[in-house]
Amino acid sequence: MGEKKVAGRKRHYLVDTDGHLLLVLVGPADEDDRVGARWILRARDHRWPLLQLIWGDQHYTGEVQDEARSQYGIRLEVVRKPGEQRGFVLLPRRWVVERTIAWQGRSRRLSKDYEHATEYSESWCYIGSIQLLLKRLRPRLDSEPPYARKVA
């Protein structure tokens, strides 16, 4: 759900199982991750009431998990890294959000923090997501699609 690649800001993402952006919250970097999680849970309650399971990283443990279960009826499952892990290890379900963050980072406007207000940053996250979806709906005909199957 959260990410700190842009200095001074923290982004909390809610994505579907394919990594498409549903909701984003941009806040100050010194804000606790649990504050962002609570905001996302409240927004989810209004927009996607049928959502029952959310995967999050290790910052979303404790009271947030209990609140998600008791107030919203959501199972907040924390994806933990193994204790003996050294270096990069692909964690189950965590890669979906990481991939979304990488997609967002490819947008020039989102690679750095150009905006003064967090509302503008959130808007640009949605615009970047829309741009990605539109490219997938109508790809350029003169370019080869990435990961195209080679017919032998």
Per-residue pLDDT tens over the stretch 108-127 = 777 777 788 888 889 999 99
pLDDT of residue 152: 60
Task: Judge if pTM exceeds 0.95.
Answer: no
What pLDDT is recorded for position 78?
Answer: 85
pLDDT at 130 over 70: yes
Joined tokens for residue 94: 């965590």
Contacts with 95 (C-beta within 8 Å, 6 or more apart), sequence order: none
The CATH number assigned to the domain with range 2-137 reads 3.30.420
- Which among 5, 62, 21 has a CA at the least distance from the CA of 38? 62
**Which one has a higher pLDDT value, 7 or 89?**
89
DSSP 3-state percent helix, strand, coil across the chain (nearest 5): 40, 15, 45
Q: How far is CA 73 from CA 14, 42, 51, 107, 114, in A?
A: 17, 12, 9, 35, 37
Pair of tokens at residue 97: 């959000």
Buried b (16+ CB within 10 A) or exposed e, 12-34: bbbbeeebebebbbbbeeeeebb
| For the chain, domain boundaries | 2-137
In the chain, what is the straight-line distance between the N-terminal and C-terminal CA atoms, in Å?
41
The two three-digit tokens of residue 103, written as one number: 């997609």
- Where does the pLDDT of residue 2 fall: very low under 50, low under 70, confident under 90, or very high at 90 and above? low
DSSP 88: -
Query: 150: pLDDT confidence band, cut at 50, 70 and 90?
Result: low
Integer Cα distance of 44 and 23 in angstroms? 8
